[in-house]
Amino acid sequence: MKSNLLSDSFAILIDEQIVDQVNLLSYPDQVCCAIKLDGQRLYAGCRDNEQPAIWSLRNTDGQLELGLIDAIGKQPSTTELLAVIEAALTYYPTQKKVALTVAQSQFPELFATGVLTVDGNRVTAYAETFWQQSRLWHQGGGIPCPIRYGFSQGRRHPLRSPKPSGLVYRRYIPWLGRTLNLRRPAIDTDLQRFNCWMNDPMVAAFWQETGDMQKHRHYLEAIDVDPHMLNLIACLDDEPFGYFEVYWAKEDRIAPFYDAHDFDRGWHVLIGEPQMRGKPFVTAWLPSISHYLFLDDCRTQRIVIEPRVDNHKMMRNLAHGGYANLKEFDFPHKRAALHMLLREHFFSEQLWLPRSSIATHSLSLS
């Protein structure tokens, strides 16, 4: 079924081949590449003031193939190749892999890091491994911190890296025709907006953090100095619309309620702008926060979230995002439902893109 078109420049068929003219942006190694699909040709522009390279993209008998037609007299760069692979796997969202006509000797780094493999006699990029490459979306590189243990509130856990600043994640959302950014809050700049969001009746019903500007300044300052928490402002292009708090579960209040592992992450969210609530936006930000947390540390195998049991809309959204509803339990302040997303499930099922129908999943903690 064809999705609602929210951008004149982009048309997508969920679970089907894309058939309309498409524009897409990719950000490998923090370089903005503009991609255009015209029939079976991809035009990739990653260098200023130069004509775009031309690639062929064919889906023949279920086999997706990507090959260079014209690079304006130059060999494709690693940046360009990453961008066109992302485009190919985005335009054909049900494909698990794409075969490439490139020389094995040309991109040793991509073979060494698992972006490319040799499948039979073909160079191949698998979607499951490609989307785990932090260099395309994570703006800090996603380099794990060496392990050294400490204690917080009687719990032994790895000490965490210093918090990042500025932009941490960037991804173009095809069905919105906009780029989703996650960035750290700047208290002086974002405080008034944050205060307005927290006092919105729909937000307050679940967050219960209404108050004045001074209260919310102290709130944000407390998170800044808490090593187990990281807060983020979500934007479409440069327009803020929501707020996330992500945390290391081992040091969080959720830890006593399940067998928390060292690198489990969790998150909370509020969508402050009413015009950006609804399904097309949920299918952008929900998989993006999951994707960011998996990219941020490759040792993170599980993400948890514990909405209130009466937040039925959120639980439906989580089910569509691949989260399993494990159990209900009682926090001091609410009756909660523990949901969990496995790294393997997210990447093997390609859950960074929406599906027309997603079954509710179950799993065990074993």
Same domain, 219 and 309: yes
Q: Is the pLDDT assigned to residue 8 strictly greater than 60?
A: no
Rounded to an integer, the average pLDDT of 77-99 is 93
Rounded to an integer, the average pLDDT of 94-109 is 90
Residue 317 phi, psi dihedral angles, 5° rounding: -60, -40
Q: Is the pLDDT assigned to residue 357 strictly greater than 90?
A: no
Rounded to an integer, the average pLDDT of 266-285 is 95
| Cα separation, 62 vs 98, whole angstroms | 10
Question: Average pLDDT, whole number, for the chain?
Answer: 87
| Cα separation, 313 vs 332, whole angstroms | 23
pLDDT tens per residue across span 217-242: 999 999 999 999 999 999 999 999 99
Residue 206 phi, psi dihedral angles, 5° rounding: -105, -35
Q: Is 274 inside any structural domain? A: yes
Same domain, 186 and 257: yes
Same domain, 48 and 194: no
Q: Is 9 inside any structural domain? A: no
pLDDT at residue 49, as a whole number: 59
Q: Is the pLDDT assigned to residue 11 strictly greater than 70?
A: no
Q: Does 306 qualify as catalytic in the annotation?
A: yes
pLDDT at residue 362, as a whole number: 33
- Within 8 A by CB and 6+ apart from 71, the residues are 53, 54
Q: Is 239 inside any structural domain? A: yes
Q: Is 342 inside any structural domain? A: yes
pLDDT band at 182 (very low <50, low <70, confident <90, very high): very high
Q: Is 8 inside any structural domain? A: no
Q: Is 69 inside any structural domain? A: yes
Q: Is 39 inside any structural domain? A: yes
pLDDT tens per residue across span 42-52: 999 987 657 88
Q: Is 15 inside any structural domain? A: no
pLDDT band at 361 (very low <50, low <70, confident <90, very high): very low
The four Cα atoms 301, 307, 311, 315 give a dihedral, to 10 degrees, of: 10
pLDDT tens per residue across span 149-181: 889 878 899 888 889 999 999 999 998 999 999
Residue 271 phi, psi dihedral angles, 5° rounding: -105, 110
**CATH no. for residue 118?**
3.40.630
Higher-pLDDT residue of 203 and 5 is 203
Same domain, 183 and 129: no
| Cα separation, 169 vs 156, whole angstroms | 29
Same domain, 111 and 178: no
pTM score over 0.75: yes
List the one residue out of 46, 292, 24 whose CA is nearest residue 175: 24
Q: Is the pLDDT assigned to residue 1 strictly greater than 90?
A: no
Q: Name the active-site residue from 16, 209, 306, 328.
A: 306
Rounded to an integer, the average pLDDT of 190-213 is 96
∠ CA 274-275-277, rounded to 5°: 65
Higher-pLDDT residue of 236 and 8 is 236
What are all long-range contacts of 308-316, with beta carbons under 8 Å and residues at least 24 apart? Answer: 308/206, 308/334, 308/335, 308/336, 308/337, 309/334, 309/335, 309/336, 309/337, 311/206, 315/339
pLDDT at residue 355, as a whole number: 65
- What type of residue sits at position 120? G
Report the interhelical angle of 213-224 vs 187-198 (nearest 10°): 120
pLDDT tens per residue across span 279-310: 999 999 999 999 999 999 999 999 999 999 99
Here the tokens at position 351 are 């859950």
Q: How many domains would you assign to the chain? A: 2
Q: Is the pLDDT assigned to residue 79 strictly greater than 50?
A: yes
| Cα separation, 27 vs 138, whole angstroms | 9
Higher-pLDDT residue of 1 and 336 is 336
Which of 7-11, 80-84, 92-96, 250-254 is predicted least confidently?
7-11
Same domain, 209 and 278: yes
- What type of residue sits at position 253? R
What is the three-state SS of the chain?
A: CECCCCECCECCECCCCCCCCEEEEECHHHCCEEEEEECCEEEEECCCCCCCEEEEEEEECCEEEEEEEECCCCCCCHHHHHHHHHHHHHHCCCCCEEEEECCHHHCHHHHHCCCCEEECCEEEEEHHHHCCCHHHCECCCCCCCCCCEEEECCEEEECCCCCCCCEEEEEEECCCCEEEEEECCCHHHHHHHHHHHHCCHHHHHHHCCCCCHHHHHHHHHHHHCCCCEEEEEEEECCEEEEEEEEEEHHHCCCHHHCCCCCCCEEEEEEECCHHHCCHHHHHHHHHHHHHHHHHHCCCCCEEEECCECCCHHHHHHHHHCCCEEEEEEECCCCEEEEEEEEHHHHHHCCCCCCCCCCCCCCCCCC
Higher-pLDDT residue of 159 and 182 is 182
Task: Look at residues 134, 152, 182 and tell me which one is the last residue of a structural domain.
Answer: 134
Rounded to an integer, the average pLDDT of 191-215 is 96
| Cα separation, 106 vs 193, whole angstroms | 49
Rounded to an integer, the average pLDDT of 320-343 is 94
Q: Which domain holds residue 115?
A: 22-134
∠ CA 79-81-85, rounded to 5°: 120
pLDDT at residue 103, as a whole number: 82
| Cα separation, 234 vs 217, whole angstroms | 18
